Chains A and B, each alone.
Chain A
Amino acid sequence: MTTATHAAGSTEASASKPATMAQALNQALRDALAADPAVHILGEDVGTLGGVFRITDGLTKEFGEDRCTDTPLAEAGILGTAVGMAMYGLRPVVEMQFDAFAYPSFEQLVSHVARMRNRTRGAMPLPLTIRIPYGGGIGGVEHHSDSSEAYYLHTPGLHVVTPATVEDAYGLLRAAIASDDPVVFLEPKRLYWSKSQWSPQEPAEVPPIGKAVVRRPGRTATLITYGPSLPVCLEAAEAAKEDGWDLGVVDLRSLVPFDEETVAAVVRGTGRAVVVHESSGFGGAGAEIAARITERCFHHLEAPVLRVAGFDIPYPPPMLERHHLPGVDRILDAVGRLQWEEG
């Protein structure tokens, strides 16, 4: 994988101040636009406004309306025209304003984006990134908090990537834009304002898509998670020390490709695993991950692989969402059910 370098001095975050995930994403887009004239950003309000989350802030001013374009308000049209642009050799980066607003583009995604390379025997790959702010925890009203990853990871031909840290937000977005395959890039919107000492001025390593990372080593059980649930899992692992558990945390970073090797190696070491995500559990990513761990690590397991997920309900209204989202207590409760007495 390549190492990306930045256009210097063009960011709002100074070297001395910690950067937010939103700033890191903005910098990744800016650097991608500067590095490759084929990169074009399309979306609703991405121009003058800079996006409702300001991820495209300043990009139209810096690169012009042809490179960062306010489109009509029509998600199928945005993605459909982006397909055509990619067919011509451009490298479009599409912004869907919110998770639930991406659904009108679902047919374009499933029937064309995911299949064009395969349909044409590789003659027409679609290097196309679809950025989707996803997940809850921001007090959003209905249709602003969906975790839609399961719809996408069930569609062969798509890569599904989600950063959980400021550094990965930069690196994985650069990797997604550089990829010759379509990438659904899920941005955990409640982490947009999370901060890191990482400075956007430093050259950042672009991580390969499809590699999980161990965020916290642990000897007694492993929490496997991604995106918005990573900070919750790290908090739970810290709290678990009081109960005498040394919990490790794996950040998948990419759901497709799924880094089975890393996950299996870690779980074989601990013999106990809990998969944590905020989307509904039934038919969710955790079901697939738990099944694969069981298939690969059965003889190393001390307990069934458990899942901690959002309930199987439509996303709740904001005043009730804290009951839906997996929190530290629900995670520790699951850890407590990992058959310790038999271990």
Chain B
Amino acid sequence: MTVLDTPAWRPRTDAAPLLPDPEPFRLLGTPEAAALDPALLRALYGQLVRGRRYNAQATALTKQGRLAVYPSSTGQEACEIAAALALQPQDWLFPSYRDTLAVVARGVDPVEALTLLRGDWHTGYDPHTHRVAPLSTPLATQLPHAVGLAHAARLSGDDVVALAMVGDGGTSEGDFHEALNFAAVWKAPVVFLVQNNGFAISVPLAKQTAAPTIAHKAVGYGMPGRLVDGNDAAAMHQVLTEAVERARTGGGPTLIEAVTYRIDAHTNADDATRYRDDSEVAAWRAHDPIAVLERELTSRGLLDDTLRDSTAADAEEMAASLRERMHSDPQLDPMDLFAHVYAEPTPQLREQQAQLQAELEAERQS
């Protein structure tokens, strides 16, 4: 008998309950879907259609020079919308750069959500207003922020959950690992949603990880991993809601892998034909999140032409408003460049401020 046979050493956690299901969890098209609230399904449908229209409009705006770049989430709308709808008003969302739809669905103004991508500032909205952190361009760095915020809220005795979004590529970053580790050790009320859309720009998941699934990574941190059909809006909503509730009631963090697909290229500047076959895209189009939801609604008699038309009209109206508002030039004040570097500008910044002021004056006079 050695010390390893005594209670001095033992596993801290039973690994088995943390393991994800072998197959992605699905609801739509299964017998369980019959129990789903029609109001929820209709709400998801309306938001998914709006989301897809938003993506199309934003991509069009890049072609018109109104946006510097747009990373579309077409094909991933179920993940985006379910993430926003699973949260309570006091909760916080930590989006990555592809998550504009979730940001808008959370209530952020559709134009302000595009500020980063239009390029008139880095973040166009006050994060406190809708409790949405700035869209994070560096990969996975927003995840420890979510953990810290959730931890701080818990220390303050506040009922706040943080939901952090990341892609499959981001799970290779060190910050992904550190965030999950801190969250589990601190039992922080945070939910990690990984949208596994198959590619990190051009690199397929097989070159990203050798893990059985991304959801399996949860076990190594001592938190449950959930595997979900990311194109099943109802399944996404249910799994996210359960994880948020678990976090809210002191159960700690959850890692959710949503299996989905990026139908569009990485951004408007990317050429996806260089790294994937049309046949693969076609296979995923056949499992489109809006089509999957429409089939469910139709089979339950919840979707008729009137609802379909009014939903489309609502999305069209949103797009028209977005188009119109984005076609006006943003009012920029170059002096803003110095206004928020510090609470008080340094003496050197004051000098540079004066220099720019003089340059602007000279421009006006020439």
The 8 A CB mask of B133-160 against A (1 = contact, 0 = none) is 1100010010111111111110110000
Contact (Cβ within 8 A) A74 B123 = no
Query: Is B245 in contact with chain A by the CB < 8 A criterion?
Result: no
When the two chains form the complex, which single residue of B148, B178, B182, B340 contacts A118, counting CB atoms closer than 8 Å? B340
Which residues of A are found within 8 Å of B155, using beta-carbon distances? 40, 66, 90
Counting chain A CB atoms within 10 Å of each CB, the highest count among B133, B145, B174, B179 belongs to B145
In the complex, which residues 70-118 of chain A have their Cβ closer than 8 Å to any Cβ of chain B? 71-72, 74, 76-77, 79-90, 92, 104, 107-108, 111-112, 115-118
B185 neighbours in A (Cβ, 8 Å): 72
Q: Size of chain B's interface in residues, with CB distance under 8 A?
A: 40
B residues near A111, Cβ cutoff 8 Å? 138, 141
Give the Cβ gap from B356 to chain A, nearest Cβ, in Å.
15
Which one of A119-127, A131-139, A298-306 is at the interface?
A: A119-127
Partner of A88, one of B141, B153, B179: B153
Report if A180 contacts B (CB, 8 A): yes
CB atoms of B148 and A83 under 8 A apart:
yes
Identify the closest chain A residue to B144 (Cβ): A80
Question: CB < 8 Å: which of B128, B133, B134, B144 contacts A77?
Answer: B144
Interface string of A232-273 (1 = CB under 8 A from B): 000000000000000000000000111111000000000000
> Which B residues are CB-close (under 8 A) to A66?
155
8 closest residue pairs by CB, A with B? A84-B148, A80-B144, A77-B178, A81-B148, A88-B152, A84-B149, A257-B346, A84-B145
Known: A71-B182, A76-B144, A157-B342. A120 touches B151 (CB 8 A): no
A51 to B346, alpha carbons, bound, how many Å?
33
**Is A18 at the interface (CB under 8 A from chain B)?**
no
13 A-B pairs, CB-CB below 8 angstroms? A72-B182, A76-B144, A77-B175, A80-B148, A84-B147, A84-B148, A108-B144, A122-B340, A179-B343, A181-B343, A257-B347, A258-B347, A259-B347
Distance between Cα atoms of A82 and B144 in the complex (Å):
8
- Specify the chain A residue showing the minimal Cβ separation from B124: A121
Mask of B174-210 contacts with A, CB within 8 angstroms, 1/0: 1100110110010000000000000000000000000
Q: Which of A88, A112, A122 contacts B156 (CB 8 A)?
A: A88
CA–CA, A179 and B343, complex, Å: 9
1/0 per residue B328-362: CB within 8 Å of A? 00000000100111110011100000000000000
What residues on B are CB-neighbors of A85 within 8 Å? Answer: 148-149, 151-152
> Within 8 Å of chain A (Cβ to Cβ): is B287?
no
- Interface assignment of A140: CB less than 8 Å from any CB of chain B: no
For window 196-253 of chain A, which residues contact chain B by CB distance below 8 Å? 210
Chain B CB within 8 A of A156 CB:
yes
Taking a contact as CB atoms closer than 8 A, the residue among A72, A76, A84 that contacts B174 in the complex is A76
B121 at the interface (CB under 8 A from A): yes
Q: When the two chains form the complex, which single residue of B121, B138, B182, B340 contacts A81, counting CB atoms closer than 8 Å?
A: B182
Instruction: Name 12 extra pairs, CB < 8 A, besides A80-B141, A121-B336, A123-B127.
Output: A74-B178, A81-B144, A81-B179, A84-B150, A87-B127, A88-B153, A107-B138, A117-B341, A119-B122, A157-B341, A259-B347, A260-B348
In the complex, whether A159 has a CB less than 8 A from a CB of chain B is yes
- Inter-subunit contact B121/A156 (CB<8 Å): no
The answer to whether B178 and A89 touch across the interface, beta carbons within 8 angstroms, is no
Q: Using Cβ atoms and an 8 Å threshold, which residues of chain B touch A125?
A: 343
Q: For the complex, is B271 an interface residue (Cβ under 8 Å from A)?
A: no
Which of chain A's residues have a CB closer than 8 A to the CB of B182? 71-72, 74, 77, 81
Asked whether A120 lies within 8 Å of B127 as measured between CB atoms, the reply is yes
Q: Which residues of B contact A157 (CB under 8 A)?
A: 341-342
